Structure formats: C-alpha cells, structure tokens
Structure 1
Amino acid sequence: MALWVSLLEWDGQSNPFTGGRADFVGLDNYRELFVEDGLDRTLFATSLRNNAYFVLIYVPVATALSLGLALIVNQRLIRGRGLLRTTFYFPSVTSAIAVSTVFLFLFQGSGAVNSLLSWVGIEGPNWFADARGVVWVVLGAIGLVDPDRPSGFLAEQGFLGLTWFEWLSGPSVAMCTLLFLLIWTSSGTFMLIFLAALQNVPQELEEAAALDGVSRRELLWHVILPALRPVLFLVLTLALIGSWQVFDMVYIMGQGAPGNTTLTPAYLSYQSGFGEADYGQGAAIAFVLFGIILVCTGVQRWLLRERNARFGRTR
C-alpha cells in the first residue's frame, strides 16, 4: 500500500484505491526529491547530508565504544562487573523521550554542561541553537577559511540544491549533541551483544596464546576479533540501520532546528505526511530511505565478506 501511495497525490482523507482525492501522479513525488528545483529537494538533500554524519560518525564510534566496554567488563579480574554492565546498559533501556528531555536541560545555554565548562574558563555554545558546521568552525578558528562568508567554487557549485560548502561544513554543533546522545543510548545494547560473543570465545585459545608469549594486543587482533567477525557484522548492520531511522530524538530536541541541521529523512517523511498532509511525498521519502538502507547494508556485507585465501572464493 505504501508503494502505491508514493505514486499518488493523496491527503489521507479518502480511500487511496478508489479514487476520490487520490490522484495518480506516477513518479512526480520522486522527481520532486531528486530532479526538480524547489524546497522539497533542498530539504531532502539536507536530511541526507545530516544522516550521512550519523553513518560516518555514529556507526564506527558506537561500534568501537561498545566493543571496548565489552572487553572491559569481560575481564575476570575486575570487581563489580555486574554493576558495570548494568551502568553501561541502563541508558539503552531508558525511554528515548525521557533521555532527550534530560539532554535538553543539560545542554541548554545555562545548563549543567556549560556551567561545568565555565569552571575551566570555556564559554560553551548554545548547543541546540548553533547551526554552524564544526568543520568550518575549526578551519575558521585557525584562519584557513571564513565560515561566515564562503566564496569560490564551494559556495557557487553544489548538488541536489545544496552548495558544496553546505555539504562539507560538517555536522552542526546541535547535531554533535544529538550524535553524542545517540551513541550514549545505544552503546549499551551493542556492548551486551559483544559481551555474549566474547564469553563464547574458547578459554583454551587465550591460555594457549598466553603460553606462547602473545601480547594482549596481538591476542585481541589475531584471536578475539576474528572470532567476533559475525557479531561485528551484526552490530555494524544494526547500527547502520538505526542511523537511518533516527526520529524520536529529533522530534523532541528541535524537529530539525536549528536551520534544518538536525533534520533526518525519517522525520522529514513524518513531517511531509502527517504535518503537511502530503502522504504521497512522505511515502516516497520512506521508500527512498528503504532503498538506501538496502544498498548500504549490501555494501557493508560486501566489504566485510569472508575470503577463502586458498581457493580465492568469497563465502
């Protein structure tokens, strides 16, 4: 049904299969997203750019952090491992709405985070109202560019209605806060997945490696990580899919503000359908998002495929 709705101009007030206010427009909803100049394409491109930061930052950082936490709590010599596991996992079982609301108070201009920064002489930004890209903020701070007056090729040329300056400016300060929240709330779940896999690694392998004088680093790289390969693929896949489905936190923490720098395709699909009663456009965005997830998962599977070195085959 959703695929059919994406080919319609439908306001949700009638049966999409029996005509009425449901007009068949073919691929027009998709053309508005990719081809036709206008606000729809600009907003969609902005949401894709923002979500690219989730993929490039959230996925590797959350995976590495959760693996590190799992390695820590898996140490048999550490006391209070149960307490550590509970502490690390607690954010993952807390309501995203509740956590997002708490973060709004912590990161507001006069919140606890800026108060702590002021104690060490740092003036914190107004986190959820700062739309500046952190890449250009850093480059501007060292005098390489003028982030307030971009010029040249980056400001004159672009793609999908956004200039290259907008594509390459990096996540906004507000987006960085959202990234931190997402990493903090999801790493606990991934940690438990890694921990379960670590406890299935045969103890004999570690003991044999210790007898051979293998260092902890070599043990991790040559024994533990290869044993975790299937689980690593699972965690990366879950993180990748989750990075394209961010909605609730965006809804609570600004609904795309400031300046659409926290807008995501998932929220844009919701806004188009339920906010503007353009269900065809919302369904089209959802199907494009579905296709992107399939492609990204396929590419990830190809990159992490296991090779049979002896026969030159891919398993």
Structure 2
Amino acid sequence: MALAAQRPRRGGLRRGEGRAGWLFVAPAVIITAVFLAIPILLALWVSVSDWNGFQSPLNPRVNFVGLENYAAITTEEGLDQRNFGTAVRNNLYYVLLVVPLQTIIALLLAVQVNRAALRGRGFFRTAFYFPSVTSTVAIVIVFQFLFTASGAVNAVIGALGIDGPDWFNDSTGLIHGALSAFGITGPPPALAEPGFLGISGWEWLAGPSVAMTSLIILAIFTTSGTFMLLFLAALQAIGSEIDEAALVDGAGPVRKFFSITVPMLRPTLFTVLTLGLIGSWQVFDQIYVLGGTSAGGTISTPAFLAYRTSFVDLQWGQGAAIAFILFVFIIVLTLVQRWVLKERSPKSKRRAAATAQEVGVTR
C-alpha cells in the first residue's frame, strides 16, 4: 500500500506535489499579478475609456469610448495625429541608426578586448563599460556642455574652419541639409501633401535632425559597453580548437570572422539586437532631460509623447493608447527580427547546398 501511495500519477507528479508547487510559486505569481498584470489591464481599460485622471478608472462614471483615443492619434487629422506621426518618425530614424551602429561597435570592441596580444585588457574592458553604469542624466548634462553652440565640439569643428550648429536646438534634418547643398530646399508636389500619420513624404524623408543626431551619438556612447560584455562572453565561450581548425584550413582573419565567429555568435547577436531595439523604442530619460519639445519637436519620441499627453495635457486615454501602440511596434519588430535571424533547419541547408551544386554543374 505504501508503494502504491508513492506511485506517480498521470503527468509524473506524486500526490500533493502539484499543490506544493503552486504554494511555492504563489508569492511570485501574486507579485506579478499585482504590480504587472493588473496595471497593464487597467491601462488597457484607460486607453478605451474617457477617464479624466481624477477618480478611479473603475468608477461607474468612466465611459467606454472604444477606439476613439486610438483614432485621434492615427486616423483623425489634427495636431494629436501630427504630434504622434512626428514622434514615430523621430524614433524610427533613432532606431535605424542606433541599433546597427551600437551592435557593430560593441562587436568590434569585444573582438579587440578579446585579443590575447592586447596589454591591459582589464583596463580597456572597464573603460569601455564605464559609460554604461554612469547616470544617464549626468551624461546628458555633460553632452549639453560639449554640444552647445560654444562647446568643445564646436570649438574643434571651428578649428577646421567649419561653423558648428547649436546641436540640441537645431531641427534641420540631415537629409534635408544634404539636399540643400545641391539647391533642393523644398518638396516636389508628390511629397508635399500630408500622408501617413499626418506627415508629408518630404517630412518623412527629412532624416534625423541635428538635435536627434547628438542624442544618437549619446546613445551609442552609453550602450556599446554593455553589449560589448555580452559579445565578449560569447567570444570567450568559443573554443580555441575552432580557431586552430580554421588556420589549418587556410582561413584568414577576415574569412574566419565572418564565416565562423559571426555565425557562432548568432544567439548573442539576437539578444543584443532585441535589447537594442526595445531600448531604442523606449528612449525617454534623455528626451525628458532635454525638454522633449526643443528643436521643433524633432527629438520627441512616442515614449515621451505618452508621458506628456498623460501627465501634462491630462489626456490619459490618448497617452495609454500611444503606449499600447508602441508595445505593438516592439512586439512586431522583435518577431520580424527573430524570423530574420533564426537558424534555418538542416533540411533547408542541405537543399540549398544541393541547389548550389546543381547550379555549379550546369555552369
């Protein structure tokens, strides 16, 4: 009878183990529900209601308005739609420049720090990582001193005979600035009309403003060190026998890096790109310190706009709607990135190799 009582039931659990398991995970489940799941559900309700912020969101006087808050910033022509479109455009250029550059720089730094011939590797590793642990607010203030009209950056540029801009207050788009050098200062008729999210094609093609460019430089400076450590850990996990096999096969440093090292870093590369993508779409603190609305609104982002719409303009429904649209942006782009970087099945690899061989024989 004792052996029968200890016999595992269907599913592999003995009697009472399921209850014990739930008892152990109950604190984590409760904390997650109270501080994460319930606030998310309340924010979702706020995004589809007319809550004014002065009473409980669950008050019976709060009315359900459906998708009106979402429509006000996406489809209805007006200032709200234009502000949201401008913020999305600004953040899109920020992501397109920050994520690739910080990933490439972090990988190159990791490769250099991982070299056995490099002396003082500990010093360089600490120096490269130090900006990542420094307060973002402090770094922004330092960058303000460096990039002011009379700052050190413009002093260096002035020594070359070039007049530097007022970086954090210049709303000129880099692409528009380049086109103006060729005498193109206005949009063609096809790009002049308001388009997606109330922004004309000419404005979508403006490029990051000078002010946003300074923030891009700041972001790359502060995040590359963190991602360097991730790449460094992955590089150190690659066995020395792989490098020796590559040398025996006659692979040079460049060929070995792109054909062996980079493919073996695929999981770390996915992690770095995903973290960079999420962090770039959620950028807020740098924008907040600089005022958010300076430089003609060309440094505003959806995360900052959600804050300003909710806590300054007191349009809580629209602010929550912006936050959930941003959430969808991040999820969709992360899934696309995962699909692009996922490792293909061996069957598809064999099929591709056979196809390549057939093409070679045909030729």
TM-score band by shorter chain is over 0.9
Structure 2 length as normaliser, TM-score?
0.83
Which of the residues 186, 197, 205 maps onto 2:223?
Answer: 186
Partner of 1:177: 214
Specify the SS of the correspondent of 1:8: coil
Partner of 2:45: 4
Task: Find the aligned partners of 2:283 and 2:293 in 1 and give their Cα distance.
Answer: 11
Task: Find the aligned partners of 1:202 and 1:187 in 2 and give their Cα distance.
Answer: 25
Q: Is the 8 A contact 1:256 1:264 kept in 2?
A: no
Task: Find the aligned partners of 1:72 and 1:136 in 2 and give their Cα distance.
Answer: 37
How far apart are 1:312 and its partner, in Å? 6.3
Task: Find the aligned partners of 2:82 and 2:193 in 1 and give their Cα distance.
Answer: 15
1:133 aligns with 2:166: no
Which of the residues 100, 104, 111 maps onto 1:71?
Answer: 111
1:36 aligns with 2:76: yes
Which of the residues 189, 195, 199 maps onto 2:236?
Answer: 199
Q: Is the 8 A contact 1:175 1:262 kept in 2?
A: yes
Task: Find the aligned partners of 1:287 and 1:78 in 2 and give their Cα distance.
Answer: 47
**Which residue identity lines up with residue 48 of structure 2 in the other structure?**
L
How far apart are 1:275 and its partner, in Å? 0.9
Task: Find the aligned partners of 1:252 and 1:152 in 2 and give their Cα distance.
Answer: 38
**Which residue identity lines up with residue 50 of structure 2 in the other structure?**
E
Task: Find the aligned partners of 2:210 and 2:229 in 1 and give their Cα distance.
Answer: 30
Q: Is the 8 A contact 2:94 2:208 kept in 1?
A: no
Task: Find the aligned partners of 1:157 and 1:282 in 2 and give their Cα distance.
Answer: 23
Partner of 1:270: 307
Partner of 1:282: 319
Q: Is the 8 A contact 2:147 2:166 kept in 1?
A: yes
How far apart are 1:309 and its partner, in Å? 4.2
Specify the SS of the correspondent of 1:156: coil
Task: Find the aligned partners of 1:82 and 1:282 in 2 and give their Cα distance.
Answer: 45
Higher Rg: 2
Partner of 1:241: 278
Which of the residues 56, 78, 97 maps onto 1:57?
Answer: 97
Task: Find the aligned partners of 1:297 and 1:276 in 2 and give their Cα distance.
Answer: 31
Q: Is the 8 A contact 2:94 2:212 kept in 1?
A: no
Unaligned segments of structure 1, at least 5 residues: none
Task: Find the aligned partners of 2:339 and 2:284 in 1 and give their Cα distance.
Answer: 28
**Which residue identity lines up with residue 30 of structure 1 in the other structure?**
Y
Q: Is the 8 A contact 1:266 1:286 kept in 2?
A: yes
Partner of 2:337: 300
**Which residue identity lines up with residue 113 of structure 1 in the other structure?**
V
Task: Find the aligned partners of 2:118 and 2:180 in 1 and give their Cα distance.
Answer: 45
Partner of 2:269: 232
The sequence identity of aligned pairs, in percent, is 51
Partner of 2:39: none
Structure 1 length as normaliser, TM-score?
0.95
Q: Could you list the structure 1 runs, at least 4 aligned residues long, displaced by more than 6 angstroms after superposition.
A: none
Task: Find the aligned partners of 1:287 and 1:112 in 2 and give their Cα distance.
Answer: 40
**Which residue identity lines up with residue 200 of structure 1 in the other structure?**
A
> After alignment, is 235-244 or 211-220 more displaced?
211-220
**Deviation per residue, 1:145-186 (Å, 9 max, x gap):** 11xx33421113522211111001101000100110011100
Which of the residues 121, 128, 133 maps onto 1:93?
Answer: 133
Higher relative contact order (CA 8 A, sep 6+): 1
Specify the SS of the correspondent of 1:259: helix
Task: Find the aligned partners of 2:291 and 2:314 in 1 and give their Cα distance.
Answer: 21
Which of the residues 344, 347, 352 maps onto 1:310?
Answer: 347
**Deviation per residue, 1:202-237 (Å, 9 max, x gap):** 111111212332100011011111110000000000
Partner of 1:83: 123
